[in-house]
Amino acid sequence: MDVLMPQLGETVAEGTLTIWHKAVGDTVENGELLFEIGTDKVEMEVPAPVSGVLTAINVEAGATVDVGAVLAVIDDGKSDAASPATTPVASAPAASNASAVSRTPTRHPSLRLSPVVRKLVVENNLDPAHIPGTGRDGRIKKSDVLAYMKGAPAVQVQTTALFEPLKPPQSTPPVAPLKSGAGRTVVPFNRIRQMTAEHMVRSKTVSPHVAQGVEVDFSSVDKVRKEKGGVWRAREGFSLTYLPFIARAVCDVIKEFPNINSHVEADNLVVYDQVNLAIAVDLNFQGLVAPVIQNASAMTAVEIARAVADLAGRARSGELTQEDHQGATYTISNNGSFGTLFTTPIINQPQVAILSADAITKRPWVVNVGGEDMMAIRPIGVLTQSFDHRAIDGAYSAAFLRRLKEIIETKDWGAALP
């Protein structure tokens, strides 16, 4: 069976094979770590797709290859492993050397680091200048790196890419490291922080943001949550929040306003049929990721609720996969638990809009009963959408929000829940 270069994301066409964990002739188990690849977006461990014997390695560590390229061949006893495409390239080392081929991280220019520290620093994209060394003469030990990474848990999330950087991270010339002390603590940006910073600046630079908010009466949602929330919690093991209702309503409205569900690519608006809904998840103040509910438009509110719980759980335990980060067409950010009135979110590029759900609180509200205006107490929350004014105008976004409000307030949510 051919082992192919996996798709790393919709906009990624190639990646660098960084390390082989197996050599030609090795027996591999299905799911066992086979090799690692890196792109400007993500570093990823790739398991063996089948059990068998690794019979050929076609691409040496360090080589950059196209998605879909045949990297290696595993003889699983079924397929023909001797097809012409699987002949090792001429420059591939002899089998006996294959295990020694892979482990050559680039050198760090300035510090004297042990081999294992050097490797960890390169693999995790750390700046050793920021890692406190507890060894002799301040030497950084392996345990120091591990402790440093543990102290910044977000770094350990395998697939850290909330957003794609516009260009590969540039190597900056070495500068004197900032030092903690004298009443201040220096906290170096970890990988998520660096990528978030890069993306936010870029998004604000390329997209003229406009934010619009709409007040929504969540009474009908609240009614269902009150009636069914207890049973739900007992059955599903997590609380029934407002988010799946909002998400379902967003998918409904997008059918009527498809341009919201799109990407901007080189003076084109690329409109998608399917809604792949990114949900921003805070990693306990250690960073932000936005895993994606694939094809949320085909899901019921119940299915969306389960998908949100699953993604949020895996995001916090660092178990998201590359697939969980791919293909988002619209994003919802949920800040309600902190009681904020509204938030103007920054667009998740190359999407054109993002919605913030904030606190839903009981407020005095004018309702019309039998032709008469009256005061009532209603759960009210503001939904704020930031949109890219290159792609969409205010009227379109406002109409989208008006319809969103309408659906949330009037849909028969009881029928949507078992």
Partner 1 sequence: MAELTYREAVAAGIAQEMERDETVVFLGEDIAKAGGVFKATVGLYDKFGPDRVRDTPISEQAILGAAMGAAMTGLRPIAEIMFSDFLAVCWDIVSNQIAKSRYMTDGQVSMPLVIRTANGGGARFGAQHSQSVENWSMMIPGLKVVAPSSPADVKGLLAAAIRDPDPVMFFEQKSLYATKGEVPDGEHVEEMGKARVVRDGDDVTIVALAAMVPRAVEAADRLQAEEGISASVVDLRSLVPLDTTTIFNEVGKTGRLVTVEENPRLCGWGAEVSSIVAEERFWDLDMPILRITTPHIPLPSSEELEDIALPSVARIFETVRNEVD
Q: Rule CB under 8 A: which residues touch partner 1?
A: 99-100, 103-105, 114-119, 135-136, 139, 141-142
CB closer to partner 1 out of 82 and 146: 146
Q: Quick one: 298 exposed, middle or buried, by C-beta within 10 A (0-12, 13-18, 19+)? A: exposed
Q: Are 62 and 29 in contact (CB under 8 A)?
A: no
Among the options 108, 130, 209, 389, which is catalytic?
Answer: 389
Q: Quick one: 368 exposed, middle or buried, by C-beta within 10 A (0-12, 13-18, 19+)? A: exposed
Nearest distance from C-beta of residue 96 to partner 1, angstroms? 11
Nearest distance from C-beta of residue 34 to partner 1, angstroms? 18
Q: Are 341 and 358 in contact (CB under 8 A)?
A: yes
Residue 393 annotated to the active site: yes
What is the rounded CA–CA span in Å between residue 123 and residue 388? 36
Nearest distance from C-beta of residue 119 to partner 1, angstroms? 4
**N- to C-terminal Cα separation, the chain:** 45
Nearest distance from C-beta of residue 115 to partner 1, angstroms? 5
CB closer to partner 1 out of 123 and 252: 123
CB closer to partner 1 out of 118 and 325: 118
Dig out the tokens for 136 from the structure: 């002799």
> What would you report as the CA-atom Rg of the chain, rounded to the nearest whole angstrom?
25
Nearest distance from C-beta of residue 111 to partner 1, angstroms? 14
Q: Are 347 and 206 in contact (CB under 8 A)?
A: no
Q: Are 384 and 212 in contact (CB under 8 A)?
A: yes
CB closer to partner 1 out of 4 and 149: 149
Residue 389 annotated to the active site: yes
Is the Cα dihedral 107, 111, 116, 121 positive or negative? negative
CB closer to partner 1 out of 98 and 401: 98
Q: Are 111 and 105 in contact (CB under 8 A)?
A: no
| Other Cβ atoms within 10 Å of 80 Cβ, number | 9
State the catalytic residues: 389, 393
